[in-house]
Amino acid sequence: MRIILLGPPGAGKGTQAKLLKTYFGLVHISTGDLLRKVVAENSVLGKIVKQYMDKGDLVPDSSVVELLKERLSCADTNKGFILDGFPRNGAQAEILDNAFKEKSLDIDYVIYLKADEPVIIQRLSGRRVCSKCQANFHITNMPPKKEGICDNCGSALYQRSDDQEESIKNRLKVYLSETASLTGYYLRQNKLLEMDANFEATIVFEKIKSALSKKY
């Protein structure tokens, strides 16, 4: 099964991707995570990418597409995958369609996680990420057992630089201007499953499972 998770920042794409990965045995590919790895390497490219990400702007298509194609060429993706954070504009959607056509593959479902702005802001401003294993927590919605410490590996939690107020506002603006119209693109391809993602994560996941079981 090949799934795209679409939705505004903070809708819960990463959270649902992890649940889907475990439940269906799929590979989770997050372009945000791939880019954060490049930034952590502190290379010339990493420094350029960081400037876009800190502001909440989209990283140029050429850099993201190259990273994604490299990841999709790995053998583990043969068992199916979840794309989290890609595509983010019309050009990326077309590049993806063409790349799949060349391999006679297709995307099965595009799950559109829809969440209201106050919910999004509450989720993003309270998110904390593990500095070592990248596990996600939330100070009130999904708090770690010990404040500031990762439940999985015991490392320190940090706040993403793009989870500051200014950057969150810009990410929402960029989502509306660049990404939101992709729902129409995938609706026309009859692949879109729209989900109300304002609920607690396990409830959203149950709704996704139920929608997929009717289709799959």
Provide the annotated active-site residues: 13, 88, 127, 160, 171
List the one residue from 4, 6, 20, 85 that touches ligand AP5 (CB under 6 A).
85
Residues 7-46, interacting with ligand AP5 (CB under 6 A): 7, 9-15, 30-32, 35
What is the nearest approach in angstroms of ligand AP5 to the Cβ of residue 166? 13
Could you give the CA distance from residue 69 to residue 99 in angstroms, rounded to a whole number? 9
Could you give the CA distance from residue 150 to residue 132 in angstroms, rounded to a whole number? 9
What is the nearest approach in angstroms of ligand AP5 to the Cβ of residue 78? 22
| Minimum CB distance to ligand AP5 smaller for 143 or for 154 | 143
Number of residues that bind ligand AP5 (CB under 6 A): 36
Residues 124-163, interacting with ligand AP5 (CB under 6 A): 124, 127, 136, 138, 141-142, 162
117 in contact with ligand AP5 (CB under 6 A): no
Using alpha carbons only, give the angle 147, 205, 57 rounded to the nearest 5 degrees.
Answer: 70
Q: Which residues bind ligand AP5 (CB under 6 A)?
A: 7, 9-15, 30-32, 35, 52-53, 56-59, 64, 85-86, 88, 92, 123-124, 127, 136, 138, 141-142, 162, 171, 199-201, 204
